[in-house]
Amino acid sequence: MNSCVVGLQWGDEGKGKLVDILAEDSDIVVRYSGGSNAGHTVVIGDKRFALHLLPSGSVRPDTICVITSAVVVDPEVLIKEIEGLAEKGVTLDGRLFISENAHVVLDYHKKEDQLREESLGKNKLGTTVRGIGPCYADKVGRSYAVRMGDLRDLGQLKAKLREIIEYKNKVLSAVYSAEPIRADEIFDKCRSYAERLLPHVTDTTEYLHGSIAAGRSILFEGAQGSLLDLDHGTFPYVTSSNSSSLGMPAGCGVPAKMVDRYIGVAKAYTTRVGAGPFPAEQDNEIGQYIRDKGHEYGTTTGRPRRCGWFDAVAVSYSAKISAIDSIALMHLDTLSGLKELKICRAYNISGEEKTFFPANVDRLSQASPVYETVPGWDEEITEVSDYDELPLHARDYVRMIEEMTDTPIAMIGVGPARSQTIFR
């Protein structure tokens, strides 16, 4: 059984928790898109892991971890993460494979990201400033790209970096009057990255196809959320990769039909970090209640997340483009204590009621949400393990989301721990 887990909102839906649970029955967990902009949380007992590049299966000592070619790898972050796990007694030796074709995020990408965001002022995108956009831009541009396999030939890499950095310095100085970047410093870092990471660098496409032929079970771990997809999200307020499940085949060279089930992860409400339209946003005491109760602060940047009601229009759209078979609805516990809840079931755009999400910010910015209001529940549900033990209004809320998204809800999160999950 091969599965793919993908976010159905604007990221941070609880993918890390779900992947950690499903990894128990998987031989291999694969990250196929994005980079260290992702922050996936796994909570095991009193230990909390925040993973940015390593697949969330990495905390299980026997799970093979694969980072494929469409991931942009920041070696500094990855090495820190490997060392962090080692400190907690978890080693990646012999079970981490990184694609030789994955592009490398270097210091100048992070600098470009930061300078561009600063220069945009109020029009900034609110990126994670992890160099993601600039690295993907170099990948698409091809001439100034560095890939993990380039670390194998340091002589050639030195010459290449000199050329790239000469170009980068011209641009950074002309556009931002920035201090020049030192090619020798970047090269020295690359030498240490090579020493540390090359044992893990390989042809991951060959590895994955061999594993499929051998009947191993693979779990593909999406990063970000479908609404942040470069081509199908809320452009330009998106990330620079295909973060819906559409990015999976291209991201790792494994056809979509090799996946037996696509599981979408959504919160029982909506959050977003960074700029961009968010029709069901509650920039008020409701949003603050959700933020406080759900600890809605970014795993990567610590920024407060924008919070709002569950948006069935958005999630239905994501479920369609990401081929979702079932939904894992996380953070139901966070809604306990609210007198009434709203679910956005349609948008009113220029007097017309629409239920198909417009992935176009001009139209989306004009959308006013049409809500269904339902009664809330007072009981805390963090200890509930059986669906039938949930308060009646909580079950009604789940059923209504199922109906509006036309997708079964197979799992419900009632807390951050592995055990706080209801399976139906």
Q: Write each residue from 382 to 421 as x if it is in contact with ligand GDP (CB under 6 A), else as -, in one continuous string.
A: -------------------------------xxxx-----
Burial letters 86-113, b for 16+ CB under 10 A, else e: eeeebebeebbbbbbbbbbbbbbbbbbb
Binding residues for ligand GDP restricted to 298-337, rule: CB under 6 A = 299, 330-331, 333-334
Q: Taking Cα atoms as reference points, which of 225, 323, 242 lies closest to residue 278? A: 225
CB-wise, 209 or 418, nearer to ligand GDP? 418
Residue 101 is a binding residue for Mg ion (CB under 5 A): no
Q: How far is the CB of 237 from ligand GDP (least distance, A)?
A: 17
CB-wise, 9 or 405, nearer to ligand GDP? 9
* Burial label, 59 (beta-carbon count in 10 A; 0-12, 13-18, 19+): buried
Residue 264 is a binding residue for ligand GDP (CB under 6 A): no
Residue 127 is a binding residue for ligand IMO (CB under 6 A): yes
Separation between Cα atoms, residue 330 and residue 29, nearest integer Å: 21
Q: How far is the CB of 335 from Mg ion (least distance, A)?
A: 20
Residue 104 is a binding residue for ligand GDP (CB under 6 A): no
Interface stretch with ligand IMO, choices 95-103, 127-135, 145-153, 410-418 (CB under 6 A): 127-135
From the list 55, 57, 75, 133, which residue makes contact with ligand IMO (rule: CB under 6 A)? 133
Total residues in contact with ligand GDP, by rule CB under 6 A: 22
At position 213, the amino acid (one-letter code) is A
Q: Taking Cα atoms as reference points, which of 280, 317, 238, 263 lies closest to residue 25? A: 263
Residue 12 is a binding residue for ligand IMO (CB under 6 A): yes
Total residues in contact with Mg ion, by rule CB under 5 A: 3
Active-site pick, 20, 27, 40, 229: 40
From the list 39, 75, 222, 358, which residue makes contact with Mg ion (rule: CB under 5 A)? 39
Q: Is 393 a catalytic residue?
A: no
Q: How far is the CB of 122 from ligand IMO (least distance, A)?
A: 15
Q: Write each residue from 291 to 330 as x if it is in contact with ligand IMO (CB under 6 A), else as -, in one continuous string.
A: --------x-------------------------------
Interface stretch with Mg ion, choices 39-47, 54-62, 198-206, 366-374 (CB under 5 A): 39-47
CB-wise, 74 or 333, nearer to ligand GDP? 333
CB-wise, 294 or 369, nearer to ligand GDP? 294
Q: Is 12 a catalytic residue?
A: yes
Catalytic residue set: 12, 40
Q: Which residues bind Mg ion (CB under 5 A)?
A: 12, 39, 299
List residues near ligand GDP by CB under 6 A: 7, 11-17, 39-41, 43, 294, 299, 330-331, 333-334, 413-416
Q: Footprint of ligand IMO on this chain (CB under 6 A)? A: 7, 10-12, 37-40, 125-128, 130, 132-133, 223-225, 228, 239-240, 273-274, 299
